[in-house]
Structure 1
Amino acid sequence: MANAPAAEEAAPKGGGSKKLIIILAAVLVLVLGGGVAAFLLLKKKPAAEGEEGAEHAEPAAPKAVAAKPKSDKPPTFVPLDPFTVNLADKDVDRFAQIGVTLEVDDPKFAEQLKAYMPAIRSNILMVLSHKTATELLTREGKEKLARDIMRESVRPMGIELDDEDEEEEADAPKKKKKKRRAAVVSPINQVLFSNFIVQ
């Protein structure tokens, strides 16, 4: 009989640990569910604000609307031969090897790019040779380089894109004058890097 009370005492302990595990699992599921719900709700708010901002920015910046693909055709990619260039670092000899691919919507424009390729490569080499290793190693430096390459890639064809960095540095009255000028739409959607080595 002494064994019977011991067995009864052991059963509640086992049942208590099972209850504890079930409660912890339920709390964990609630916390994870709440986290996922909060993430989805917060994710939808910026997207909605971005859409509202796009509606307000549409009259002021028509080039953002015009740069979007109008059809379901996949974009055309124009890969350029890799660039190897000495950088503008004065204290040490540094060089960069960078692979560039241009993304365009129109295959006809891709053929035009190929016709102007020597001038485009020359312009890109000039941009790269004026960069330092510290400029190219940051994400912001790479993004600025992509904008510079986009601007210099269309210049041989007579398309002059505004330099966003010069606009930011300009005085406020000059900045307003540049915004009033008709925006030029770039036929290049993106500049993509296929390799990026700085040594």
Structure 2
Amino acid sequence: MADPNEIDDDIVVGKAAAASPGVGKLLVVSLLVSLLMSAGVGAGVYFLLKTEDGDTAEVVAGEDSVKEEKAKGPPIYHKMAEPFIVNLSTPGTRFLQVTVELMTRNTDVVNAVEKHDPLIRNNLLMLLSSQSPESIATVEGKESLRQEALAEIRRVLKNLAEPAGVEDLYFTSLVVQ
């Protein structure tokens, strides 16, 4: 008679052979679950890093932080109170009339522009009156003047330790007579 503590090798082999078809199915199911989980994690990371404009944010190498652009608010347009009217620097009488609007995204900048309106108007009047009809006759000349006026406003605000976040300057009316 066989010892009850002894294990029959034939029975063990038979159990392993019978269990192998279930192990294969279990392996396939676990691989599918693993694949689906990986795809889910990948999609989650993609959508978490996706920015508003459809691009994905850059991940800084060696760090887990994500580089994000500052969210910009809506543009705020500020019309300078009165049109600028100046004599141009030419022999004979020639006039330039310009209406100016500024664009920023910060109400503090608008407040600073309003606070220092006399100084800004003075500097813009000096800049505009130094122009000749020939210098502003072309689109390039007008664009150059626009850039100079924008730089002047930024310089004034910076020198007064005010927020200088004027993003752009627009001539909404420009007449030469």
Bin of the TM-score, shorter chain as denominator length: 0.5 to 0.7
Give yes or no for contact 1:82–1:99 (8 Å, CA) kept in 2: yes
State the percentage of identical aligned residues.
30
1:84 aligns to what?
85
Q: Which amino acid aligns with 2:174?
A: F
Offset of residue 157 of structure 1: 2.4
1:194 aligns to what?
172
1:153 aligns to what?
153
Across the two proteins, how many residue pairs are aligned to each other? 106
Give yes or no for contact 1:86–1:93 (8 Å, CA) kept in 2: yes
* TM-score, length-scaled by structure 1: 0.49
CA distance in 2, matches of 1:72, 1:158: 21
1:109 aligned counterpart, secondary structure: helix
Give yes or no for contact 2:109–2:164 (8 Å, CA) kept in 1: no
2:169 aligned counterpart, secondary structure: strand
Offset of residue 121 of structure 1: 0.3
Which structure carries more helix by proportion?
Answer: 1
Offset of residue 76 of structure 1: 1.0
Give yes or no for contact 1:120–1:154 (8 Å, CA) kept in 2: no
Q: Which runs of 5+ in 1 are unaligned?
A: 1-68, 161-184
Greater relative CO, 1 or 2 (CA 8 Å, sep 6+): 1
Q: Please identify the structure whose Cα radius of gyration is greater.
A: 2
* TM-score, length-scaled by structure 2: 0.55
How big is the alpha-carbon RMSD for the aligned residues of Structure 1 and Structure 2?
2.1
Moved over 6 A (4+): none
2:97 aligns to what?
97
Q: Which amino acid aligns with 2:89?
A: A
Q: Which amino acid aligns with 2:176?
A: V
Q: Which runs of 5+ in 2 are unaligned?
A: 1-68
Q: Which amino acid aligns with 1:147?
A: Q
